[in-house]
Amino acid sequence: MKRRKYLLWSVPGLALLVLLSGVPVQAEAPAQAKAQAQVNQAQMVEKIRSALLKLPYYGVFDYLEFSIDGRTVTLNGYATRTSLKKDAQAAVHEVKGVEEVVNNIQILPLSPADDRIRRALFRSIYGTPALQRYAIGPNPPIHIIVSNGNVKLEGVVPNENDKNIAGIQARGVGGTFKVENNLHVESESAKAE
């Protein structure tokens, strides 16, 4: 009888021991899963960024940005070509982990006047000695968006001084109606992320 009592106690005790030993593992599992999800999301962000920067017709007169909600990627920005909008969606859809792409990229209107303003803005901004270094390379950081004479400067620059110089240069170009300087400063962008 004593033995049986011991066995009855041992079986529930063993079960309790097994259950309690699983508690820390289960408590760590969500933390590990969350850390893994953050790593996966960071990898997905980098792959999407890389895919967009590699688009053949993405240039200084276009601006693309994206946001991620779970496995859904939302594309925003401006494109001078319809093909860029389609190519961006296709490139992002190919990234592992992306299930849905919402494409909110706006196509800029075709206008010879806007084209003249774009060229003048490029010369004014990237021709300034303080900003010339940005013109070197495949993807200049200051994107010039022109729509019906309205100008938006988009992108990220290293310091407030460069942001202000770009805005001053853009406001000095004739034929523009309104100039919005939406440039972000790197230190501010890092804090926002």
Do residues 27 and 40 share a domain?
yes
Domain that holds residue 71: 1-108
Give me the phi and psi of 58, to 5 degrees please: -85, 120
Tens of pLDDT along the chain (193 residues) come to 332 222 333 333 433 333 334 444 455 555 555 555 565 888 999 999 999 999 999 999 999 999 999 999 999 999 999 999 999 999 999 999 999 999 999 999 999 999 999 999 999 999 999 999 999 888 899 999 999 999 999 999 999 999 999 999 999 999 999 999 999 999 765 555 5
Do residues 133 and 39 share a domain?
no
Q: What is the CATH number of the domain that holds 167?
A: 3.30.1340.30
Do residues 46 and 132 share a domain?
no
**146 CB-near residues (< 8 Å, 6+ apart):** 61, 108, 114, 117, 118, 121, 176
Asked if residues 154 and 183 have their Cβ atoms less than 8 Å apart, the reply is yes
Do residues 104 and 129 share a domain?
no
Do residues 5 and 87 share a domain?
yes
**What is the strand order of the sheet 63-69 is part of?**
63-69, 72-79, 100-107
**What distance in Å separates the CA atoms of residue 24 and residue 116, rounded to the nearest whole number?**
66
Do residues 93 and 167 share a domain?
no
Do residues 103 and 119 share a domain?
no
Total count of domains within the chain: 2
